[in-house]
Each structure stands twice: as structure tokens, then as C-alpha cells.
Amino acid sequence: MKATIKHESRGRMRLQLRLKNMTLHQADLLEAWLKNQPWIKEAVVHERTACIIMTYTGDREAVLSAISTFTWAEADSSVTLPGHSTRALNRSFQEKLTGKVLLKGASTLFLPAPLRIARIACHMLPFLRRGLQCLCRRQIKVELLDALSIGISVSRQDFGTAGMVMFLLEIGELLEDWTRKKSVADLAESLSLHVDRVWLKTETEDILVPISQVNPGDRVLIRAGGIIPLDGVISEGEVTVNQSSLTGESIPVAKRPGGVVYAGTVVEEGECVVEVKQASGQGRYDQIVDMIQRSEQLKSAVEARAAGLADRLVPYTFAGSLLSLALTRNTARALSVLMVDFSCALKLAMPLAVLSAMREAGREHITVKGGKFLEAVAKADTIVFDKTGTLTRACPRVAKIVPFNGKEEKEMLRLAACLEEHFPHSMANAVVEEARQRGLIHEERHAKVEYLVAHGIASSVDGEQIRIGSAHFIFEDEKVIIPADEQTKFDKLPPEFSHLYLSIDGVLSAVICISDPLREEAKEVMSALQHLGIQKSVMLTGDSPRTAAAIASELGVDDFEAGVLPADKANYVAALRREGHTVLMVGDGINDSPALSEADVGIAISDGAAIAREIADITIAADSLWELVHLRKLAMALMHRIQNNYRFVIGFNGMLIGMGAAGILSPASSAMLHNLSTLGVSLHSMSGLQVEKIALDYKK
């Protein structure tokens, strides 16, 4: 691809592509390709000017080399675009809006009066028809008010007022439709799988291929924690599948050969081969995304209340118009009241405010799947944290190995690494890395390895039963005993570390002490959240009570639970909700998924397990927990803006009704001020909330 550098600064570049015309598809494809590159931080492609604006990391020459080798054909085969382009949606509505404004201006400036009147007469028919339909159904809604105001204006030969009212109503309807479809498109995009490559199983080997190259009949390998990318049938293996992102059921479902699985669900335990039945874009998950785009499921409670209030106020506007007519016998005054309704502003401004907040969150790498979740974040009084990978950076290191029962430290580490290398858990990675650094070769000597989520690993080596995992798994489930003469040694294990227990034939053989340092910002974030109204903070961990108590004291959380399993986390969150708390749950692992589903709002860390991200209502970047502070402030600012919108809409339109009834405003002025105020509050709702990303007040 050929391009010219138009502007450049450190880590940022603006490129002008040497293209005469760029299609919407090309712009979407190029932007998606750029965002998939490891060196890109942010990229925006402007199709009208064929311009790229990007920020990047790493070597400049390597970046330019990668861009120069870009080809449309390669990108088309390696990038999977969503079925619905937000760029195309925006272009369509921009053209409609521009067309309506130009048509209105041209008809006002160039059409002679008789033709303008004829156009207005034809134009008013749909408004009158909708008003009559409301009347036939004995409903007093805004459509009836619109029909009456337009009809009375025409009967009074005030064609200018009638034309302006219809123009402003159409602009408002277009903006509302645009807002709704864009909001749902954003939600659908956040729910998209974003799976670009899959492991294709062939007769000789497993090959990593772009998902676009997978066809019905192909066989795809999926391991524990992986997303099922396409609809299909299991041909090999037995797994448990979490289908909550699709069906809402929180309990994983067992799947065996012949069982049907759906795209978007996640394998919790086991490994399987799926025979693909539907190609990309044709599966059940894609159909559900299409359904969401036609639905109203995005609306938050405040949006629903605004719509309900708008409908309830219509009869009062109608009654005020009739009262004005009865008292003054002045049609113009009655019409001035009739020109004002609360519906447009209330129904349009609230969704726009929510959409603006969701966009602002997206710019800060916070993905929000619906406006109702921002409302819940603002109302929340309790926040629950998983520890490993959430309050810590999930980069643990082996700090110490304590052998028991006469075993040697090196041999126990070698044995632990031999088992743990099969599972990409952060603590398992720490064990394998420690063995590598010590130069310990851990060849395959074990039988089949069984991985139990949130518990540990079971296997056999040279005829001996090996178990490695949590205290709950080792001492409660497996009934492992501590050598009688080493109880004191066990009691003196350092509490500041997490412990991984290794047993051989039912006897404790080693304890691997894992150092998993807390995030540097964790304590300050806790304090910041308390200042923002979070009344209770809780830490849930599978660690021993001693370790959990030490960490909880360092963090300053209000409460903690140790040795918890996934079901325990979910039950704890459910109990808080039954007590009347609004609960946020923050986690990153497979074992956090039940609790994320149970909370009012589940918040996942972006580099955590796929299942956690799919189930969560909100996803934050893994870089810093300050994103939680920003999210809370953003949600609170949104609620503040919505309340201000309520006050302005009710107050300003109430004033217009009073001035119209008093004869101060003409019908045309009343209609113009009402519609201008609607556009004004809508534009204000679309502006940024101007929330600081980092709460500097809490940093020292």
C-alpha cells in the first residue's frame, strides 16, 4: 500500500493514502487490520479523505514496513468484519439529514407560493393519518398533538408555521432513529466474538487459520477457556460449556460427541473437536445480534422513565390548549400551547446522553454493553473484587519452595512443572518459569492430566497418585495428610504468599509459595471509590485465610472471604443483593464467571479469560484499576446530566406553554423555540462529559 506521511510526532502519524476513492468496506477493512497489529495503540481511517491517523509503539521503521506490505486481498482473508458496518450506518443517516435540510431550503427559496402550499398539503397527510389512528384507538399521544397543530395551522392558512413544524418534527425523528440504531449497533459490536483465527484440525496436524477460511464440514479444535467461534456439533471429546452469553443460564452444560454447540459460548472444562455446521456470519449467535439490532433492549431505566413521562404529559398539554381556548376564545393562543410537547426532548435527549457516555467510555478502552449498566454503576454501593489477576497483575513468581515428607526441593519443582505446563494459568506459568530458570528439565512422565477448575490438577507418575492445587482441593477434597512431625513447619509457612500444595499418594510433599504482588494503584483506587460513594469493598480469593487476611489488611478492604470456589463467589454476591445492595463484581478468570453473572454489573479485565469477557456487562483495560474510578465518575456524571435534562425540558417547555397561553408567543414562535430547545438539549447531550481519567485528588 502506498501512502504519504502528512504529519508525524513521537508515536503518532497521519498518512494520506494514494487512492482516488476509498469505499466504506475498504475503510472498515483497513481500520480493523490496523487495530489487529501488535504495535498499534489507536487507529482511525477517514474514508472521505483516504487518511489514516494512528498512534503506535515500537520501532518506526518496522511500522512503516508493515504498512507498506499491506494488501487488500491479504487483509480480506485475515480480518473478519462485523456483518453491520457502523460507518455505513452513519453515512446513510448523514446523507438523509443533509438531503432534508437542502430540500427544505430549496423549496423555501425557489418554489412559488402555490407549489409550496401544494407540497405542504401533501406533506401533512402522513401526520394527519397518524393523528387519526391515535384518535380511533382513543389514545392521546404526541402524534395527535402534532396532527392537530399542523391541521389547525393549515386551516388558518398559516402554511409557513405548518411547514416549519413538519420539518423540525422530521429532523427530530431522524435524529432519534439514528441515535437508536447507532446505540444498538454499538451494543452488537461489543457483543461480537472478535475471533479472527481458529485451530483447524486436519489429518496430519492442527493449523491456525483465519476464521473466514473455515467452511461447513471443517473440524475445529477448542481447548478449556476458549470461545466456540462457530455453530457446530462435537465430534471428539467431552466438555462443559458456559452458554450464559447466549441463553442466560449460569450453570455450565455438559456436551458429548453429537452434542450441538453454538458460537459465542465458552468451553469451561475439557477439550473438544467441533465439526462446523454454519460458516461465519450464519450462526445462531449472529442471528441474535441481528435481533438485538432490531430491539429496544438497550434502554436503561432512566430512558424508559423519560419515555413514559413524555407520554403521560401529552394529555396535560392537550388539556392546557383546550383550557386556553375556552378562557380566551383565541385560537392562536390555544395553538401556541398545542405546538409545545415534552415528548421529543425527553425521548431524544436521554438516549443521546447515554450514547455519549458509552462512546466516551469506549475512548478510554472501557466497553459498556448497554446504558442500563452505567446507571447501575452510578447507583452501586458495594464492589466485590477477585484477587488474582484483578487486584494483582497476574504475573506471579515462585518465592519459595518448602519440601515435606523427606522430598527434595528440585524434584518437587520438576514434578510440579511437569503437570502445570499443560494449563495456561498465571500460577501454573510461575511454576513452569521457575523450573526453566533453574534449568530443570521436566519430561513427560505422567498419565492423563485432569484439570479441575478452581481446584487443581490430578494425575499419576510412576504409579504414584499426584495432586497439586489449592488447600481446599488438597486437604478437603483429597483428604491429604500432613506428616505428623512437620505440623510446626507447616504452621510457619509465610502468610504473605499464596500457596500451591503438592501431594504424593495422599501425603503432603511440598508447598510452593507464590508471590503475586498487588497492583501499585490498588490501595489508592479503594480509597477513591470510597470517596465516590462506594460504601463496602470486598475481596474474594481462593487463598488461605492467613494469606487473605494479610492482603486484605494491606488493601484496606471492608471484608474478605478466603478459600472460596466459583459457586461460593456467586452465592456471596447473591446474598449481598438480597440484602438490598447494588453490587459491582470485578474479575478476570473462568472461576469468576458465575459471580459476574450474579452481580448487578459484572466487570471483566480485558486480558482475562474469554468467558469472563463474554459474560461481563462491562470490560475495562488491564493497564490500571483507575479505569474503575473513571467508570464510576462517568456513570455519575451521566446521571447528573440526565437529571439536568429533565429539569431543563420540563421548565423550558412549561414556560413556553405559559407564554403561549398568555398570548406572548405566536404559534410559529412557540413551535420554533420548542424545536430549537429540543435540538439544543440533544446537542448538549451528545457533548463529552469531561470526566478526568485519573482522580488526581486521590493521588499523592
Tell me what pLDDT residue 125 has. Answer: 92
Question: Rounded CA gap, 259 and 234, in Å?
Answer: 6
- pLDDT, tens only, 133-155: 988 888 777 788 778 878 888 88
- Distance between CA 145 and CA 250 in Å, rounded? 47
Exposed / middle / buried, residue 315 (Cβ in 10 Å: 0-12, 13-18, 19+): middle
Q: Which CATH superfamily is domain 366-393+519-622 in?
A: HAD superfamily/HAD-like (3.40.50.1000)
Q: What CATH number should be reported for the domain whose range is 197-292?
A: 2.70.150.10
Yes or no: say if 142 and 314 are a contact pair by the CB < 8 Å rule.
Answer: yes
21: exposed, middle or buried (C-beta count within 10 Å: 0-12, 13-18, 19+)? exposed
Q: Which of 285, 286, 290, 292 shows the shortest CA–CA distance to 266?
A: 285
Element (H, E) at 9: strand 3-9
pLDDT for 502 equals 93
∠ CA 426-432-436, rounded to 5°: 140
- Does the pLDDT value for residue 185 go beyond 70? no
Is 80 exceeded by the pLDDT of residue 304? no
DSSP assigned state of 477: I
The H or E element that residue 524 is part of is helix 522-531
> In the block, which residue shows the cell 398533538?
145
Predicted confidence (pLDDT) per residue in 607-618, tens digit: 666 666 767 788
In this predicted model, which residue has the larger pLDDT, 259 or 317? 259
Q: Look up residue 64 and give its three cell numbers.
A: 512503516
Q: What is the dihedral of CA 112, 118, 120, 123, to 10 degrees?
A: -140
- Give the separation between CA 596 and CA 566, rounded to whole angstroms: 10
CB 540 within 8 A of CB 384: yes
Measure the CA–CA gap between 512 and 501, rounded to whole angstroms. 6
263 within 8 A of 279, measured Cβ to Cβ = no
Angle between helices 142-155 and 301-328 (to 10 degrees): 40
Average pLDDT over residues 21-37: 89
CATH architecture of 3-79: 2-Layer Sandwich (3.30)
Q: Which of 300-309, 343-352, 685-694 has the highest mean pLDDT?
A: 343-352
Asked whether the predicted pLDDT for residue 698 surpasses 70, the reply is: no
pLDDT average, residue stretch 147-169: 81
**Residue 432 amino acid letter:** V
Query: Distance (Å, rounded) from C-alpha 194 to C-alpha 185?
Result: 15
Give the tens place of pLDDT for each residue, 503-513.
999 999 999 99
Give the model's pLDDT for residue 425. Answer: 65
**Half-sphere CA count of 84, side-chain side, radius 13 A:** 25
Residues 6+ apart with CB under 8 A from 416: 431, 435, 468, 500, 502, 510, 512
Sequence-ordered list of residues with C-beta below 8 angstroms from that of 275, at least 6 positions apart, any chain: 217, 218, 219, 232, 233, 234, 235
What tens digit of pLDDT does each residue of 377-394 get? Answer: 999 999 999 887 788 876
Burial letters 475-497, b for 16+ CB under 10 A, else e:
eeebebebeeeeeeeeeeeebeb
Inter-residue contact 615 to 597 (CB < 8 Å): yes
Could you read off the pLDDT of 481-497 as tens digits, one per residue?
999 899 999 988 888 78
3-state secondary structure 386-429: EHHHHHECCCCEEEEEEECCCCCHHHHHHHHHHHHCCCCCHHHH
Q: How confident is the model at residue 223 (pLDDT cuts 50, 70, 90)?
A: confident
The closest alpha carbon to 334, from 673, 678, 666, 649, belongs to 666
Q: Which of 281-285, 296-300, 449-453, 483-487 has the highest mean pLDDT?
A: 483-487
Q: What is the pLDDT of residue 296?
A: 44
The closest of 344, 345, 348, 367 to 357, measured between CA atoms, is 367
Q: What distance in Å separates the CA atoms of residue 685 and residue 678, rounded to the nearest whole number? A: 11
Contacts of 662 by beta carbon, 8 Å cutoff, 6+ apart: 333
Unique residue bearing C-alpha cell 518506526: 60
Q: Which range among 3-7, 367-371, 621-625, 687-691 has the greatest average pLDDT?
A: 3-7
Looking at residue 429, its pLDDT comes to 80
Quick one: the chain helix, strand, coil %, rounded to 5? 50, 20, 30
Beta strands in 484-546 (DSSP E): 498-504, 507-515, 536-540
Mean pLDDT of 37-43: 88
Say if residue 313's pLDDT is above 70: yes
Rounded CA gap, 574 and 667, in Å?
56
What is the percent of the chain with per-residue pLDDT over 90, rounded to a whole number?
22
Tell me how far the alpha carbon of residue 357 is from its chain's centroid.
12
The radius of gyration of the chain's CA atoms, rounded to the nearest angstrom, is 31
Length of the chain as a residue count:
700
pLDDT (0 to 100) of residue 696: 38
CATH 3.40.1110.10 matches 397-515:
yes
What integer pLDDT is reported at residue 159 of this predicted model?
86
Amino acid present at 434: E
Q: How confident is the model at residue 418 (pLDDT cuts 50, 70, 90)?
A: confident
**Domain boundaries of the chain, sorted by first residue:** 3-79, 109-188+299-349+637-686, 197-292, 366-393+519-622, 397-515
Name the phi and psi angles at 669, rounded to 5. -65, -40
Helices (H) and strands (E) in the chain, counts: 24, 26
Q: Region 628-644: what's the mean pLDDT? A: 90
